[in-house]
Structure 1
Amino acid sequence: MGDMLGREVELDVTGIAHGGISVARLDGRVVFVSDTLPGERVVARITEDRKKSFWRAETVAVTTPSEHRRPHVWSAAALEVDPAQRAGGAEFGHIELSHQRELKRQVLRDALTRTGGLDAERSDVEVRALPGDDERGGTGWRTRVRLHVDADGRTGPYAARSHTVVRVDDLPLATPELVEAAPLGDSFPGEAHVDVLAPSVGGARLIIGDQSRTTIYETVGDREFRLDDRGFWQVHREAASTLTTAVQQAIRPDLFDPKAANLDLYGGVGLLAAAVGDAFGPGTRITSVESDERATEHASENLADWLGASAVTGRVERWIRQTAAQAGALERGRHSASTIVLDPPRSGAGREVVTEIAGLGPAQIVYVACDPVALARDIALFRDHGYDVDALSAFDLFPNTHHVETVARLVRV
């Protein structure tokens, strides 16, 4: 079937798939198409036809535009640019902002019903905007950007779906502070990448290649967090405060015991453990578990306000397994009364971690997810262990991209 590669075809786009890709059909075969949206008729170039079950294509022109199409927020990613040179990282930038959230709602609902096994009513959740995003058209929110360096030493993002470095004149998704510091016209021969950061304290900075780490500070409300400049922190300027509130609201007070063996898994520098502590007071007992030793060191300092809070370094599945094996009767009681918060990487927690968490028998689980399909898979696993979703919220932490953040509460049934 290789004779279709590179051929241009007309397609009617009928649906949205996970990953920011739209769905069309050609002679009965599914075609995943980039840079379009449901309801459009487009001319697209076939870029991959090796898989017998589906093909991939890139939009090169729009024959019948959707009423929800708008001029792309980033000219470097617009249809006028050759697909191989379109900047990546703003794959929904051609879609009106409220409709982006509608498409994300559909993707989340489909994942939760098809993979998670939830009924349609429980799977249907509004994707909420973060403060300031509607006014800015979903731009000006990124506080962290990685620029890659090409063979000539010049910086730029990768092109969509490739490792080709493209040179750009602007970074519309970035905050004004980050834009001012971004070295778009500069040369860094011999380096692989340049990270640009605009933390909430201390001004913007560059990290060139693998230079040594320094400590930076981020604020959430009145609280200050220490972290490495290379360490993980939420990218949207309002994300940390939004997730703090979302996790606090997701925890059922009637199921929360401050003296139980409460856990914050994949805890980073302690953002969500602090959210729990702030909600339930200075006597709150909570352990934050994180595999990055530097992040754990910072978490210990960030959680110093709570006598019962601690941060430990460990791989989550191994740490839980050892904890469960060593627990006596008293500890098992504390685990069964506990609240477990987890914010795993994009791949989700997975079968082993879900099994270990369920084995502790916590009173409630608050799962923060940046990938709907991974979340849905893990929800199905938790349901096999006697837990089910009884609250769900979703947030548009990444406007003009396909990503969506979800907070789910699971309880024993």
Structure 2
Amino acid sequence: MVGMPENAALSVGDLVELDLTGIAHGGVGVARHEGRVVFVADAIPGERVRARITEARKKSFARAATVEVLDPSEDRRPHIWPEAGLERDPAERPGGAEFGHIALPRQRALKAEVLTDALRRFGGLGTDALRDLGGGVLQVESLPGDAEAEAPGLDGTTHTSAPGLGYRTRVRLHVDPETGEVGPYAARSRRVIRTASLPLAVEEIGWIAPLDEAISEAEAVDLVSPSADDPRMLVSYPGERRRAGADDPVRESVGGREFLVRAGGFWQVHREAPVTLFEAVRDAILELAGSDRFDPGAANLDLYGGAGLLAAAVAEAAGPGLRITTVESDPGATDDAAENLADLVGALTVTARVDRHLAELRAAAAPVRERLRRGTVVLDPPRSGAGGEVCAGLGEVAPANIVYVACDPVALARDTATLRELGYTPVSLRALDLFPHTHHFETLAVFLRD
């Protein structure tokens, strides 16, 4: 510790020298100070850094932010977002690009470490099972085009830049309640930070982003750049009962197929994510069909179905004889799914909470239950995962196969443990880097009923 007596307690503002030994879920490095775990932002495992303590309320761990790198990793790069670099005070750095100082191959290796650790610790999977799932070693796949991405310049033009930039088609900014200034939040804070650029955003968002403006009385600004429609700026105000853009339909193109979605609704943010997930789910269904495990005429389900993207992927693999019900709690998304799946005779869209729909299915008549047991479930839950109640419902409905799209590795691992207890075995897994320069990524896992 710099300037403090040996064995002194850590306090906010203290400077400490730390050796980074690992990575934790959430994109922070792991170090120890006198036996106490310290989670360190803006560092890379293997580095020695000087860091400022930012949180020390818990006896078991503290949080810190790097202010100086004493022994840098060979994978350290100048931060892709100048405002998030070490030159700024940690409290002045915008959040949302916590891996922006790390070379992309190392970013993906760190994400693979987090996934492997989560599946081992929370999913109960041993070395052999993990090796079989990953075909040897779990890897995180990059998406097409990241290396050639362009990012908006400050003058509105574009420039070829570091790999993995210029991919976000949806960006949320916040408004300072006192000044009206618009920008992202600081990391682990609700403090609005002014920035001159949005390097992860596509060019069209750079055109309309109000980074140098003040918007009085607003709460948030959502910037949306649909692949087959004009960009939108959606302004939210306190007390509004409907989210901005809820009634604004826009068009998205996925592999030549057009989808209707709400500008203010959910859609994957990486420009290549919709087609990547579409193809990943389609290929998983084709593989199940190739082993005679997929029955297109069974009671197949698409849970947390959104606008119907993944149900359409199942349909492309299964052909015209498919029967599938897509379940989504957002009425607007269900309406969009009905439109997007209108050409599928066997598709049904239902507005309902997934747990409640599964409860209804558990009480269905015997012939329906049998069709459910022959079916395949695709589910794409929120970041918190499916959870115990939904997994228990799946266990009672007992579909033959589950294709699980996860955006959080720990949630996936916990649900994996639950599904294994319910008689499901994970047989394949793909990790996809849908969020370069952040700690987030997507995972697709296939489970078979024993």
Counting only pairs closer than 5 Å after superposition, residues 380-399 of structure 1 correspond to structure 2 as 380-399=417-436
Among residues 314, 320, 329, which one is paired with 2:358 in the alignment? 320
Aligned residues: 412
Letter matched to residue 4 of structure 1? S
Task: Tell me, yes or no, if the aligned pair for 1:109 and 1:120 is still in contact at 8 Å.
Answer: no
Look up the match of 2:17: 10
Determine if the alignment matches structure 1 residue 87 to structure 2 residue 94: yes
Among residues 140, 154, 163, which one is paired with 1:127 in the alignment? 140
Question: Which deviates further from its counterpart, 182-191 or 402-411?
Answer: 182-191
Task: Tell me, yes or no, if the aligned pair for 2:337 and 2:349 is still in contact at 8 Å.
Answer: yes
SS for the counterpart of 1:60 is strand
Task: Tell me, yes or no, if the aligned pair for 2:232 and 2:263 is still in contact at 8 Å.
Answer: no
Determine if the alignment matches structure 1 residue 208 to structure 2 residue 258: no
| Cα distance between partner residues in 2 of 1:51 and 1:187 | 38
Q: TM-score, normalised by structure 1?
A: 0.98
Look up the match of 1:233: 267
Look up the match of 1:38: 45
Letter matched to residue 367 of structure 2? L
Q: Which runs of 5+ in 1 are unaligned?
A: none
Among residues 281, 290, 299, which one is paired with 1:247 in the alignment? 281
Q: CA deviation at 1:134?
A: 2.5
Look up the match of 1:149: 175
Task: Tell me, yes or no, if the aligned pair for 2:244 and 2:264 is still in contact at 8 Å.
Answer: no
| Cα distance between partner residues in 2 of 1:350 and 1:2 | 38
| Cα distance between partner residues in 1 of 2:318 and 2:174 | 43
Q: Quick one: percent identity of the two aligned structures?
A: 58
Q: CA deviation at 1:31?
A: 0.6
Q: CA deviation at 1:120?
A: 2.3
Determine if the alignment matches structure 1 residue 187 to structure 2 residue 214: yes
Look up the match of 1:78: 85
Look up the match of 1:169: 196
| Cα distance between partner residues in 2 of 1:28 and 1:361 | 46
Determine if the alignment matches structure 1 residue 140 to structure 2 residue 166: yes
Look up the match of 2:134: none
Deviations 1:321-341 (A, max 9, x none): 11221x222111101110000
Q: TM-score, normalised by structure 2?
A: 0.90
| Cα distance between partner residues in 1 of 2:441 and 2:262 | 25
Q: Which runs of 5+ in 2 are unaligned?
A: 1-7, 131-136, 150-162, 237-242
Determine if the alignment matches structure 1 residue 198 to structure 2 residue 236: no
| Cα distance between partner residues in 2 of 1:208 and 1:359 | 43
SS for the counterpart of 2:21 is strand
Question: Which deviates further from its counterpart, 11-20 or 125-134?
Answer: 125-134
| Cα distance between partner residues in 2 of 1:56 and 1:183 | 32
SS for the counterpart of 1:4 is coil
Deviations 1:70-108 (A, max 9, x none): 000000111111100101100000000011000000000
Among residues 397, 403, 407, which one is paired with 1:366 in the alignment? 403
Letter matched to residue 128 of structure 1? E
| Cα distance between partner residues in 2 of 1:93 and 1:189 | 31
Task: Tell me, yes or no, if the aligned pair for 1:69 and 1:95 is still in contact at 8 Å.
Answer: yes
Deviations 1:148-196 (A, max 9, x none): 1112112111111100000000000001111112111122101001111
Among residues 235, 255, 267, which one is paired with 1:221 in the alignment? 255
Among residues 187, 195, 202, which one is paired with 1:160 in the alignment? 187
CA RMSD after TM alignment:
1.1
Deviations 1:243-272 (A, max 9, x none): 011111222112111110000000001010
Look up the match of 2:330: 292
